[in-house]
A and B are shown apart, each in its own frame.
Chain A
Amino acid sequence: MDISKSHYKKMVEKASPNSRLGANCAKAFVVGGLICAFGQVLNSLYMFWGANADQAGTYVAMSLIFLAVLLTGLGKYDDLATFAGAGSGVPITGFANAMAAPAIEFKKEGYIFGVGAKMFIIAGPVIVYGTLASMVVGVFYFFFGG
């Protein structure tokens, strides 16, 4: 085909439909907002039951992680994500889903190389780069902060 790659790229862009950004953002906003508002309700409940602010925050994270893993196991979380996109991916529930999904999917390859190893295919990088970034922050804080 005597079509240059750059020209072909333009043809592809023209032929390919764009994501419906407005609708996707609206759905992400509502679902993501609702998950966070639900977290806030849980937070109030835990504090009402006597937790301090730090404890309540941890309990909220645990609760949301539990619900996300449960929905993942029941095969419902990806349906929610198809609708909500980043709305269900960005909250901590998305992180839990990213661990539970491969754990279930790869159990056929056994509990060591399947569940154990593959559990981190998506969440692993989050932990690696999150903790590395925290080290960088720590170095700055140690020498220049506080």
Chain B
Amino acid sequence: MTKRLGKQTVLFSRPVGILATSSVVGPKEGEGPLGSKFDVVLDDPMAGADSWEKAESALVKQSVQLCASKAGMETANFDYLIAGDLLNQSTGSIFGVRDTNVPYLGIFGACSAMGEGLSIGGMLIDGGFADNVLVSASSHFCSAEKQFRFPLEFGAQRPPTSSWTVTGAAAAALTSKVGGVSVLGCTTGKMVDMGVTDANNMGAAMAGAAADTIVAHFKDTGRSPHYYDAIITGDLGYIGSDLLLQMVDKAGYQITHNHKDCGIEIFDRDRQNTLAGGSGCACSGVTFAAHFYEEMKAGRLSKILFVPTGALMSPVSVQQGESIPGIAHAVIIENVGG
């Protein structure tokens, strides 16, 4: 167990390269601050399909194919495909990749899917079980609303604490070849339940888990926040980020100067009326793929801790009065050069 550090962290024996990433998003995301950076911005969130669920799968299919081709590979040549989304039984991922003929590992970590996928993919490669792994994460505003909230045409005001599910799909191709932007290890999160029962305040439900994982990472590795150029949470949004900074500060670490949140980066809340910020598996996925990964490749960032966050709930669990446990998976990503 020499690769294991402390209770929750593993450091790989050698860097696992991220050969390529891809991002496919809907029109609203295209109008956001990162709009010009995405690989594909669709004009129609229906993506040519005839239902929201099929549209989400179409986004997954397109992003997976695009990522493979950007990596200079055929999709079929990957050893594993790891995918996660928010729909019941992960149908968003399943029907997006069912034709790929690649060994498939479906994951559910709510909106933390990209972090969970990169962690598992990295471990598979570092363990010598695979040379190339494709990771995918997706969400769709309309399919998520339909499943978790009310029909889209039903007139219900969104409370100011609610977030806006990102329509998009992201993929990342991991490789055993050393060089460039790479995953060096990960801190796998524990479920943290802060007792939040309000499904319209996901940021608050997830902030405790994010703080727990980030603090555990520092303790396990002995690193200080200054080790990283940026500590990037998934979709805490404005409220969750505020709570995260308070809790991490209370635990004795200062990350105010280098903390960023994908849910804050992806939309302009004043212009786009996105309230507490962006959310969904695609939120951290496409923001990492289109923005932070490219910043690292260009050398503007060299070391980041990428911490996608998820709220573990279903409409049934909320209706039965269960509180919402949060989860957050930290992934160490560095540009190792070469």
Give A contacts to B, CB under 8 Å.
1, 3, 5, 8-9, 11-12, 15-20, 24, 72-73, 75, 77-78, 80-82, 84-85, 88-89, 94, 97-98, 100-102, 104-106, 108, 122
The residue from A11, A75, A81, A104 contacting B243, defined by CB atoms under 8 A apart: A11
Known pairs A105-B152, A122-B154 / 8 extra A-B pairs, C-beta < 8 Å: A8-B195, A12-B243, A16-B201, A17-B239, A19-B159, A78-B155, A81-B155, A105-B146
Closest A residue to B157 by CB, please name it.
A85
Q: Do B153 and A16 touch (CB < 8 A)?
A: no
Indicate whether A82 sits within 8 Å of B158 (C-beta atoms), given known contacts A16-B239, A108-B50.
yes
Q: Specify which chain A residues have a CB less than 8 angstroms from the CB of B155 in the assembled complex.
A: 77-78, 80-82, 84, 88-89, 94, 97, 101
B interface with A by C-beta (< 8 Å): 50-53, 146, 150-161, 192, 194-196, 201, 204, 208, 211-212, 239, 242-243, 246-247, 250-251
Q: Which of B156, B246, B251 is the most central at the interface, judged by chain A CB atoms within 10 Å of its CB?
A: B156
| Contact call A12/B51, Cβ cutoff below 8 A | no
What is the CA–CA distance of A105 and B51 in the complex, to the nearest angstrom? 9
Please determine whether A75 and B153 come into contact, CB atoms closer than 8 angstroms: yes
Q: Which residues of A contact B150 (CB under 8 A)?
A: 101, 122
User: A9–B207 Cα gap in the complex (Å)?
Assistant: 12
6 residue pairs of the A-B complex, CB under 8 angstroms, read A12-B239, A15-B242, A16-B161, A17-B239, A106-B151, A122-B154
* Cβ–Cβ contact B211 & A1, under 8 A: yes
Cβ–Cβ contact B151 & A102, under 8 A: yes
- The A/B interface has a contact count, at CB < 8 Å, of 93
Measured in the bound complex, the distance between the Cα atoms of B159 and A16 in whole Å is 10
In the complex formed, the residue of A with least CB distance to B246 is A11
Smallest Cβ-Cβ distance to B160: which chain A residue: A17
Query: Which residues of chain A are within 8 angstroms of B195 by Cβ–Cβ distance?
Result: 5, 8-9
Chain A residues contacting B159 (CB-CB under 8 Å) are 19
Instruction: Say yes or no: A5-B194 contact (C-beta < 8 A), given A15-B243, A101-B151, A105-B153.
Output: yes
Q: Nearest chain A CB to B65's CB is how many angstroms away?
A: 25
Interface of B is mostly: loop
Q: How far is the CA of A17 from the CA of B269 in the complex (A)?
A: 14
A1-B194, A15-B239 known; A100 and B153 CB under 8 Å? yes
C-alpha gap A8/B324 in the complex (Å): 14
The 9 closest A-B pairs by CB, nearest first: A81-B155, A5-B195, A105-B151, A101-B154, A101-B153, A101-B151, A108-B51, A12-B204, A102-B151
Set of chain A residues within 8 Å of B212, measured between Cβ atoms: 1
What CA separation (Å) do A135 and B195 show in the bound complex? 39
Q: Is the CB of B157 within 8 A of A16?
A: no
Given contacts A16-B160, A19-B159, A108-B50, whether A78 and B194 have CB atoms under 8 Å apart is: no
Residue pair B154, A98 in contact (C-beta under 8 Å): yes
Task: Tell which of B151, B201, B242, B247 touches A3, judged by Cβ atoms closer than 8 Å.
Answer: B247
Max chain A C-beta neighbours (<10 A), residue from B151, B158, B195, B201: B151
- Contact with B208, one of A1, A82, A88 (Cβ below 8 angstroms): A1
Q: A1-B211, A19-B159 are in contact. Are A8 and B154 (CB under 8 A)?
A: no
- Taking a contact as CB atoms under 8 Å apart, the answer to whether B160 and A12 are in contact is no
Q: Is there contact, CB below 8 Å, between A101 and B152?
A: yes
Answer whether A3 and B204 are a contact pair too, CB < 8 Å, given A82-B157, A82-B158: no
Q: Are A18 and B194 in contact (CB under 8 A)?
A: no
